[in-house]
Structure 1
Amino acid sequence: MAQTITVKIKLLPSKEQAAILQSMSQTYIRTINTLVSEMVAEKKSTKKSSKDVHVSLPSAVKNQAINDAKSVFKKAKKNKYKNVPELKKPVCIWNNQNYSFNHTHISMPIVVNGKVSKTPIRALLVDKDNRTLELLTHKLGALRITKKANKWIAQISITIPTVQETETKVMGVDLGLKVPAVAVTEDEKVCFFGNGRKNRYKRRKFQSKRRELGKRKKLIAIRNLKDKEQRWMQDQDHKVSRSIVNFAKKNKVSVIRIEQLANIRQTTRTSRKNEKNLHTWSFYRLSQFIEYKANLEGIKVEYVNPAYTSQRCPKCFEKNKTQDRKYKCKCGFKRHRDLIGAMNIRYAPVIDGKSQSA
C-alpha cells in the first residue's frame, strides 16, 4: 500500500527571482488557456511539442503545460464543451526530473535574461524535527510553485509506502470541544490532548476583534482576521493530531478508531456558550489530519458508529446520562465522560464493517 501527500515548503526568493517566478507563472497559465482554446476550436487534442510553443519557458515546463492543457481539454470534451475551464491562478510546475534540493535551496530551471538556467532558490526545508527532509526521502512527484498571500510556496507531491503491523492493537480516540481529544489503548493507557479552555478563549478574542472591526466598517481587516483565525485553528489540529499519532507509536498501536462525526452539528446538544465553537470547529479536518499522519506511520484508522459512546458503561453496558464531565454508572463505575467515549469507541461497530479485531 502507498499514500500520496503534498509537502508545502516556504520559498524565500530574491526580488529578481520573485519577478521571474511571477512572470513564468502567468505565462504558464496563459499558455495552458491558449492551448485549450485551440483544441476546443479544432475539437481534437493537440499534437504540439515544446518546440511548437513559443513562450519564455524552459522546455520541461512547456511540456508540463501541454500535458495540463490536454487534461483540461479532456474535461471540456467530456461535458461536450458546455463548460470549458479557464485557469486564472498563476502557477508553474516542474516534473520530478527537473528539480533538486539540499538543506537550504530548491533548484529548478528558470528563464534568466532570456536563457534557461537551473537556479537555486532559498527554501525553508529544515524544520524543528527535520520532518520535511525525512518526507522528501520518499518517491517524489511534481514540483508546483505558487504565490499565496504575498508568500511563495513550493508544493511537492510524494508517495509513501505504508506498512501495516501484523499484531493488532487498538486505540480509541474521542473528539470534543471541552477536551479536544482523549485516547485510551487496549491496556488502559490514557492521554488527554489539547486545551479546550484555551481554544474557546482564543476564539472569543477573534470574535470580539471582528465585532470591533465591524463597527468601524473595516471589511478587509475582518477578512484578514478570519484567515488568521483559520490558520490558528489548523495549527492546533496539526499539533493535536501529531501528539495522538506519537502516543499511538509509543504504545505500539496498529489501529486507531475514531467516531464518524459527519452529523455532529445536527446530533449534539449544545449550550449557548458552546454553540459558536461547535459550528465553526472542524472535527472533520482533525480526523483527516490524524488519518494521514497515522497512515505515514503504518497505523490504520477506522471510523465507528458514535451512537451512545459517551453514555454506555464499558463495564455493564447500561446507558446513563452524564453530569458535565463526570460519568457514574449504577454498577459503581466512575470515569471522565470523554474517557468513557474513547473506551467505548475501541469496541464500537466500524462504519464500513471492515474492522480489525480488538
Structure 2
Amino acid sequence: MSQTLTVNIKLHPTKAQQATFEAMSRTYIATVNRIVSDMVAAQTMLDLTSRHVVADLPSAVKNQAIQDAKSVFRKAKKKDFRVVPFLKKPYCTWNNQNYSFDFESIAFPVIIDGKVAKAAIQADMVDPDNRNAELLAHKLGTLRITMKSNKWIAQIAVTIDTIEKTGTRVLGVDLGLKVPAVAVAEGGKTKFFGNGRQNKYVKRQFRTKRKELGQKKKPNVIKSLNNKEQRWMKDKDHKVSRKIVDFAKENKTSVIRLEKLANIRQTARTSRKHNKNLHTWSFYRLATFIMYKAKLEGIKVEYVDPAYTSQTCPSCGERNKAKDRTYTCACGFTKHRDVVGAMNIRYASVVDGHSPSA
C-alpha cells in the first residue's frame, strides 16, 4: 500500500530568478495547451519527444510538458472532447532526475539568456516540526514551481509505502465545534482534542477586523486577512489530526471511524450563535487530514452512518436528547454528549466512505 503526498516548500528567489520563473511558467502552460490542441485536432495521442517541441525550455521540462499534455488529453477524451481543459495558472514542472536539494536550497535547470543553466534557489527546506525532512526521505516524484498567495512555492510529490495494520481495535472520533474532536478507543479510553472556545474567539476577532476594514474600503487587506485566517484554521486541523492519529497509535488501533460528512452542516449540534463558525469551518479538511495521516501509519479510516449517534445510549440502546453538554439515560448511563457520539461511532454501520465536502 502506498500514498502520494505533496510537500510544499517556500522559495526565496532573487528578482532575476523570479523573472526567469515567470517567463518559464508562462511558456510551459502555453506549450502544454498547444500540444493538447494538436492532439485534439488529430483525435489521438501524439508520439512526441522534446525534439518535436519548439519552446524556450530545457529538454527535461519539455518532456514534462508532453506528459502533462497527455494527461489533459486523456481527460478530454473521456468526455468525448466536449470539454477540453485549458491551463491558465502558470507553473513549471521537472522530473525527479532533474532537481536536487540540500538543507538550504533546491537546484534545477532553467533558461538564462537563451541557454540552459542549473540554478540553486534558496528554500525553507526544514520546517519547525522537521516534517519536510521526514517526508523527503521517501521516494520522490516531480517538482512543480508555482505561485501561491504571491509567494513562490516548490511542490514535491512524495510516494510513501505503508503496511496496513491488522487487528480489531477501533477508534471512534466525533467532530464538532464546541469540542473539535473527541476520540474513544478500546476499553473506553477517551481523549478530547482542540479548543472550541479559543477557535470561536479567534474567528470572532477575524470577523470584527474584516468588518472594520470593510468600512474603510480596503478589499486587498481583507483578502490578506482571509488568507491568514485560512492558514490559521488549516494549522489547527493539522495539529488536531496529528494528535488523533498519535492517540490511535498509542492504543494500537487498526481502524479509525468517522461520521460520514454528508449534510453535517444540517445535522451538527449547534445553536444560532454558532452558525457563523459552523459554516466557515471545514470538517471535510479535518477528516481528510486524519485520513492521510492515518494511512501513513497503516491505519484504515472508515466512515459510518451518523444517524442517532449522539442520541443513542451506548448502555441500553434507548434514544434520548442531551441537555447542554450532558447525556443522561433512564438506565443510569451519563456521559459528555460528544463522548456518547464517539462511543456510538465505534460500532455504527460502515458506509461507502465517499463523502462530499463539508
Cα RMSD, aligned residues only: 1.9
How many residues are matched?
353
User: Contact (CA 8 Å) 1:181, 1:194: kept in 2 or not?
Assistant: yes
Local SS of the residue matching 1:89 = coil
Local SS of the residue matching 2:160 = strand
Q: Deviations over 1:194-228 (max 9, x none)?
A: 11011111111111222222223333333332222
Show the counterpart of 1:36.
36
Letter in 2 for 1:316: C
Letter in 1 for 2:140: L
**1:44 Cα shift?**
4.5
Whether 2:222 is the aligned partner of 1:222: answer yes
| Equivalent residue runs for 1:188-203 within 5 Å | 188-203=188-203
User: Contact (CA 8 Å) 1:32, 1:66: kept in 2 or not?
Assistant: yes
Show the counterpart of 1:283.
283
Cα distance between partner residues in 2 of 1:340 and 1:130? 36
**1:55 Cα shift?**
2.2
- Of residues 110-119 and 55-64 in structure 1, the stretch that sits farther from structure 2 once superposed is 110-119
Show the counterpart of 1:341.
341
**1:114 Cα shift?**
2.8
Whether 2:141 is the aligned partner of 1:141: answer yes
User: Contact (CA 8 Å) 2:146, 2:154: kept in 1 or not?
Assistant: yes
User: Contact (CA 8 Å) 1:164, 1:300: kept in 2 or not?
Assistant: yes
Show the counterpart of 1:177.
177
Show the counterpart of 1:213.
213
Cα distance between partner residues in 2 of 1:339 and 1:276? 24
| Equivalent residue runs for 1:186-335 within 5 Å | 186-268=186-268, 270-335=270-335
Letter in 1 for 2:86: E
Distance 1:145 1:351, change over 3 A: same
Unaligned runs of 5+ in 1: 354-358
Q: TM-score, normalised by structure 1?
A: 0.92
Local SS of the residue matching 1:312 = coil
Whether 2:128 is the aligned partner of 1:128: answer yes
Show the counterpart of 2:160.
160
Distance 1:81 1:12, change over 3 A: same
Whether 2:150 is the aligned partner of 1:150: answer yes
Cα distance between partner residues in 2 of 1:123 and 1:17? 13
- Of residues 26-35 and 194-203 in structure 1, the stretch that sits farther from structure 2 once superposed is 26-35
Distance 1:61 1:202, change over 3 A: same
Q: Deviations over 1:73-113 (max 9, x none)?
A: 34445545443332111100011111122222222111233
Give the fraction of aligned pairs with identical amino acids, expressed as a percent.
65
Cα distance between partner residues in 1 of 2:31 and 2:279? 42
Q: TM-score, normalised by structure 2?
A: 0.92
Q: Deviations over 1:179-201 (max 9, x none)?
A: 00011111222111111011111
Letter in 2 for 1:204: R
Distance 1:106 1:267, change over 3 A: same
Local SS of the residue matching 2:203 = helix
Distance 1:331 1:84, change over 3 A: closer
Show the counterpart of 2:5.
5
User: Contact (CA 8 Å) 2:36, 2:69: kept in 1 or not?
Assistant: yes
**1:320 Cα shift?**
1.5
* Structure 1 residue ranges, 4+ long, deviating more than 6 angstroms after superposition: none
Show the counterpart of 2:356.
none
Cα distance between partner residues in 2 of 1:93 and 1:323? 56
Unaligned runs of 5+ in 2: 354-358
- Of residues 274-283 and 193-202 in structure 1, the stretch that sits farther from structure 2 once superposed is 274-283
**1:116 Cα shift?**
1.5
Show the counterpart of 1:356.
none
Q: Deviations over 1:143-170 (max 9, x none)?
A: 1110112211111112212212223311
User: Contact (CA 8 Å) 1:262, 1:284: kept in 2 or not?
Assistant: no
Local SS of the residue matching 2:187 = coil
- Of residues 43-52 and 86-95 in structure 1, the stretch that sits farther from structure 2 once superposed is 43-52
- Of residues 29-38 and 275-284 in structure 1, the stretch that sits farther from structure 2 once superposed is 29-38
Distance 1:62 1:347, change over 3 A: same
**1:250 Cα shift?**
1.8
Cα distance between partner residues in 1 of 2:69 and 2:302? 38
Cα distance between partner residues in 2 of 1:269 and 1:340? 13
Cα distance between partner residues in 2 of 1:45 and 1:165? 41
Cα distance between partner residues in 1 of 2:327 and 2:37? 65
Distance 1:204 1:40, change over 3 A: same
Local SS of the residue matching 1:349 = coil
Cα distance between partner residues in 1 of 2:304 and 2:73? 41
**1:271 Cα shift?**
1.6
Letter in 2 for 1:251: N
Cα distance between partner residues in 2 of 1:129 and 1:203? 25
